[in-house]
């Protein structure tokens, strides 16, 4: 009963305090009575459940469920972050966590080391991708899920974890005592000189984390020193979900003058409406710049690409970006919990907001629709080019997304690229530099032979469509009369796996080369190797290599 009174007192006190605070803040609002009434009901329900419900309840868990349900009616970026979720939240915003510096893979209930990051405790301890993890701190890991493994491996820097490993290359089992460190996953995994003349500075940015703008400046300084006659810059923001707004402003500042408006935020609370301007000396305001975006480039990625587009400072290449024009801040709630909530919309220098989904006007079924074309407004860039609000950043040069074949998806999901690479590394101590590494026809044939008798079955779009048609025919009672035709058609469209390998040879080879490169040169090698067959990159290089075409793309059509 003491436990019951303790929770009841806490909940009553919480409700009274919450109501008092809301009274002070909302006493001029017509909605105050509704807020206070419903808070009082909510606290009373919680107290009654805690006191009289037949089984013990978990107040923290119930509170999290109820808050999540309440926030579900808003946008997906407004979230309640509990104390236990803080570490994951910090990793998402800073790229830092306490651990060993390796991710894990799960296959048939067995845990394997996946990617190992350079110069981390896992790297220094000699862990390899493909090593089997037998136990962690004397706990057998077979049968555990990846979340369980992550909890065992993460911890405060300086603490130790004891791992029993079966080496992927020697088959020898050994104990490895690894001291955890502060792992910082770089948001700039690769920067280098590319192009036929190695005179284009390429920088991949995966997230807008603290000091990433300085990291880009430093990378460009280093590349400029290596190639004084560097001709242009290619900034790759594909698959970048965003991050810190101030870093987006600082990255724009690399290419535009001090004192230039980059973005404006406008919210319900006046003090959260702000204009962000560049503050520092630019790195170079004249060098040609291209920016790569795709459907997964969001938020701060769209601030950078949208601003450079509005100011005619860069050519944007790729596919339409995600369309997230909302700004979030994090508010402390006490007990180390936080609320991440949307407080404003942001607007690029031309005045456009690129938010694609209207969460304030949901459909009757609760779904959210895109802003219709009829409501999208036209704005003008500095030179007078037309750009539009309400649907992400539309590239100046559109490139159709390359679809990944179902064969490659099947091979990847079955871990066959990963597993074969382990066998390949056993037989090859070194390979060519990542930028030039390629597989021969004989290498491809060896992979095809290794795949024999392995299950990587999948259904083509045609087979899926035929199955769907068959089900409709059965339901509508037409199938019996057309059974022979269905059987004949099914035989015609059924695919031959060996033929599919030949048909998709180029794509399969590309994925395999990337995986192999990562074993010798880590993530930077994976990226560098992939650039040679990257359609978006090759298109950008072609445009940057033609000054007249580059200039024409930034000039209004008459």
pLDDT along the chain (558 residues), means of 10: 38 42 49 82 89 89 88 90 80 82 92 94 95 95 91 92 95 96 92 97 96 97 97 98 95 97 92 91 98 96 98 98 92 88 94 89 76 83 94 94 90 94 95 96 96 83 85 89 85 75 94 97 96 96 97 90
Among candidate residues 207, 229, 205, the one with its CA nearest the CA of residue 217? 205
Using an 8 Å Cβ cutoff, are 205 and 235 in contact? yes
Task: State the Cα–Cα distance between residues 286 and 550, nearest whole angstrom.
Answer: 13
The pLDDT value given to residue 337: 87
The pLDDT value given to residue 167: 95
For residue 164, CA distances in Å to 75, 126, 136, 173, 181 come to 44, 12, 6, 7, 19
The pLDDT value given to residue 533: 94
User: pTM score, two decimals?
Assistant: 0.85
The pLDDT value given to residue 558: 67
Using an 8 Å Cβ cutoff, are 431 and 529 in contact? no
Residues 6 or more apart in contact with residue 450 via CB below 8 angstroms? 420, 423
The pLDDT value given to residue 366: 73
The pLDDT value given to residue 136: 96
Nearest 10 degrees: CA dihedral of 81, 86, 91, 97?
-170
The pLDDT value given to residue 6: 38
The pLDDT value given to residue 297: 97
Among candidate residues 419, 410, 501, 412, the one with its CA nearest the CA of residue 456? 410
């Amino acid at each position: 009963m003491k436990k019951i009174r303790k929770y009841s007192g806490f909940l009553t006190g919480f409700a009274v305090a919450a109501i008092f605070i809301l009274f002070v803040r909302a006493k001029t609002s017509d909605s105050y009575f509704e807020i206070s009434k419903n808070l009082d009901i909510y606290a009373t329900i919680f107290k009654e459940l805690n006191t009289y419900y037949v089984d013990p309840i978990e107040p923290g868990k119930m509170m999290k469920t109820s808050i999540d349900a309440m926030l579900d009616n808003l946008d997906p970026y407004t979230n309640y972050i509990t104390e236990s979720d803080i570490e994951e939240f910090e990793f998402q915003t800073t790229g830092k966590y306490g651990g060993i510096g390796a991710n894990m893979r799960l296959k048939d209930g067995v845990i394997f080391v996946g990617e190992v990051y350079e110069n981390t405790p896992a790297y220094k301890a000699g862990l390899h991708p493909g090593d089997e993890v037998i136990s962690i701190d004397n706990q057998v890991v077979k049968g555990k899920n990846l979340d369980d493994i992550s909890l065992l491996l993460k911890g405060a820097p300086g603490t130790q974890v004891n791992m029993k490993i079966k080496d992927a290359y020697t088959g020898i089992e050994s104990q490895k005592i690894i001291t955890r460190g502060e792992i910082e996953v770089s948001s700039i995994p690769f920067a280098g000189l590319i192009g036929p003349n190695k005179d284009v500075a390429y920088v991949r940015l995966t997230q807008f984390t603290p000091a990433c703008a300085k990291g880009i400046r430093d990378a460009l300084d280093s590349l400029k020193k290596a190639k004084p006659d560097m001709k242009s810059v290619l900034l790759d923001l594909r698959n970048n979900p965003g991050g810190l707004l101030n870093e987006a402003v600082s990255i724009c500042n690399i290419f535009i003058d001090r004192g230039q408006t980059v973005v404006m935020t406008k919210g319900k609370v006046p003090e959260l409406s702000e204009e962000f301007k560049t503050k520092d000396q630019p790195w170079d305001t004249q060098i040609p710049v291209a920016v790569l975006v795709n459907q997964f480039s969001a938020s701060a990625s769209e601030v950078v690409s949208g601003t450079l587009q509005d100011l005619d400072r860069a050519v944007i290449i790729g596919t339409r970006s995600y369309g997230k024009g909302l700004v979030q801040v994090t508010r402390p709630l006490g007990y180390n919990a936080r609320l991440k909530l949307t407080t404003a919309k942001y607007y690029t220098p031309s005045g456009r907001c690129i938010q694609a989904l209207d969460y304030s006007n949901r459909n009757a079924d609760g779904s959210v629709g895109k802003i219709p074309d009829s409501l999208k407004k036209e704005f003008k860039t500095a030179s007078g080019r037309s750009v539009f609000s309400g649907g992400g950043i539309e590239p100046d040069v559109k490139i159709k997304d390359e679809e990944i074949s179902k064969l490659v998806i099947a091979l990847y999901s079955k871990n066959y690229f990963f597993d074969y690479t382990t066998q390949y590394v056993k037989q090859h101590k070194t390979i060519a530099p990542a930028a030039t590494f390629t597989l021969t026809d004989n290498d491809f044939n060896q992979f095809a032979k290794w795949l024999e008798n392995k299950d990587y079955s999948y259904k083509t779009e045609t087979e899926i469509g035929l199955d769907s048609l068959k089900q409709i025919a059965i339901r509508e009672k037409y199938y019996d009369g057309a059974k022979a035709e269905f059987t004949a058609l099914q035989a015609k469209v059924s695919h031959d796996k060996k033929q599919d390998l030949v048909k998709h040879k180029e794509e399969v080879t590309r994925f395999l080369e990337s995986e192999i490169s990562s074993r010798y040169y880590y993530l930077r090698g994976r990226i560098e190797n992939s650039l040679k067959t990257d359609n978006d990159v090759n298109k950008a290089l072609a445009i940057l290599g033609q000054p007249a075409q580059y200039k024409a793309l930034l000039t209004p059509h008459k």
